[in-house]
């Protein structure tokens, strides 16, 4: 269906956010089974609850605007698939937690842009309740993103780096019984 009016654009954007939030909820639930860090679990659970509120606000607005149908959010789907694929490739739990934070933040930044877009359009159309709901989502999203950054920088990323160093140490351990000089002199002969 062609988008010919600002209200139709608003409905399209709301449907896009609805799909993104549905995808995000499924991804977060799967990630919660994969992670071991309690702080990360708590933040992801909080994001699930915030997403539920966004979904209630979206459904209410779509009903008011007579928004029927669905929109597939290819951007959100791509961000989630990228995170899932990368998480499958990492070798340690600590690295997996770092990948999950990075992926969650990428998706959150996308959502922040989408909520801001809807807030602006809703404001122009005098859909004040929706504009307020999107401002609330923006405030929560920025706060959550900041807490995720603090967790990543303060704990998760350093733990991933430490696990990486441990794996590198294991890979470069020298065989017992031969000293460096013995191996070095053997090469000369």
Which CATH code of 3.90.1310.10, 3.40.1590.10, 1.20.1260.10, 3.40.640.10 fits the domain covering 6-162? 1.20.1260.10
Give me the residue spans of the domains in the chain: 6-162
Q: Give the model's pLDDT for residue 164.
A: 78
pLDDT digit string (tens) for 66-104? Answer: 998 899 999 999 999 999 999 999 989 999 999 999 999
Percent of the chain with pLDDT over 90: 80
pLDDT digit string (tens) for 130-175? Answer: 999 999 999 999 999 999 999 999 999 999 999 877 666 565 565 5
State the pTM of this model. Answer: 0.84
Calculate the alpha carbon distances from 162 to 36, 91, 144, 148, 149 in Å. Answer: 16, 13, 25, 19, 18
| 179 secondary structure, DSSP code | -
Average pLDDT (23-29) is 97
Q: Say if residue 180's pLDDT is above 60.
A: no
- Burial bucket for residue 164 (CB in 10 Å: 0-12, 13-18, 19+): middle
Q: Give the model's pLDDT for residue 173.
A: 60
pLDDT digit string (tens) for 55-72? Answer: 999 999 999 999 988 999
Average pLDDT (9-18) is 97
Rounded Cα gap, residues 189 and 180, in angstroms: 15
Q: Give the model's pLDDT for residue 2.
A: 86
Q: Say if residue 176's pLDDT is above 60.
A: no
Q: Say if residue 182's pLDDT is above 50.
A: no
Q: Say if residue 185's pLDDT is above 60.
A: no
Q: Give the model's pLDDT for residue 178.
A: 46
DSSP string for residues in 29-48: HHHHHH---HHHHHHHHHHH
pLDDT digit string (tens) for 114-130? Answer: 999 999 999 999 999 99
């Amino acid at each position: 269906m062609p988008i010919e009016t600002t209200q139709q654009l608003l409905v399209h954007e709301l449907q896009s956010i609805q799909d993104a939030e549905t995808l995000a909820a499924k991804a977060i639930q799967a990630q919660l089974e994969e992670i071991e860090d309690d702080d990360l679990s708590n933040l992801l659970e909080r994001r699930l609850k915030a997403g539920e509120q966004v979904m209630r606000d979206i459904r209410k607005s779509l009903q008011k605007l007579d928004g029927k149908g669905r929109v597939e959010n290819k951007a959100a789907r791509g961000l989630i698939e990228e995170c899932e694929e990368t998480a499958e490739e990492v070798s340690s739990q600590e690295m997996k937690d770092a990948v999950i934070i990075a992926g969650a933040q990428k998706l959150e930044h996308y959502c922040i842009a989408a909520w801001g877009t809807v807030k602006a359009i809703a404001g122009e159309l005098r859909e004040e309740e929706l504009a307020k709901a999107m401002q609330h989502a923006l405030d929560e999203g920025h706060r959550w993103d900041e807490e995720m950054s603090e967790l990543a920088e303060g704990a998760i990323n350093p733990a991933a780096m430490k696990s990486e160093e441990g794996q590198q140490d294991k890979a470069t351990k020298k065989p017992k019984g031969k000293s460096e000089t013995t191996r070095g002199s053997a090469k000369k002969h």
